[in-house]
Amino acid sequence: MDEATLTIGQVAKRAGIKTSAIRYYERVGLLPEPERHGGQRRYTDETIQRLGVIDVAKRAGFTLTDARVLLAADRDGAPAHQEIRQLAQRKLPEVEALIHRAEAMKQWLTVASDCNCNTLDVCGLFEREPDANEATDGSLRLTYTG
């Protein structure tokens, strides 16, 4: 293991996060309790690697619990790809649903950007027929009827 020489400020700067996030990750068990020298927390490069895993997991839409699973899988000695694959297969349908909704929003906003209606009560952008506009996933379909 690397020698614990980095301060919390150095780790935060290199990882691009706040020191409070590092302390939080320690509290919730995503990072091990650091060594202390002269009363100061001291970290290794491994901490920065773990923070990188947490960051990528968060940006991919995973929870901190998911990040914990990934970090634990990497330490177990077993191939981490199985955990990565399982989490990705579970997350993919959620992302596809978000993309579908974002595409519908983009379509609606494109039409709305050309709207010339004087009042909302005559604008087709805001008409909603409860049954006709409900998508199968329960979200509102954004449509233009005018």
pLDDT of 120: 84
pLDDT of 134: 53
Does one domain contain both 49 and 72? yes
Can you list the residues of the chain whose pLDDT is less than 70? 1-2, 76-79, 128-146
Which residue segment(s) compose the domain that 53 sits in?
1-78
Residue at a domain's end among 78, 101, 122: 78
Residue at a domain's end among 78, 106, 124: 78
What is the CATH number for 18? Answer: 1.10.1660.10
φ, ψ of residue 62 to 5 degrees: the values are -80, 155
How many domains does the chain fold into?
A: 2
> Tell me: the pLDDT tens digits for 23-33?
999 999 999 99
pLDDT of 133: 47
pLDDT of 91: 93
pLDDT of 122: 81
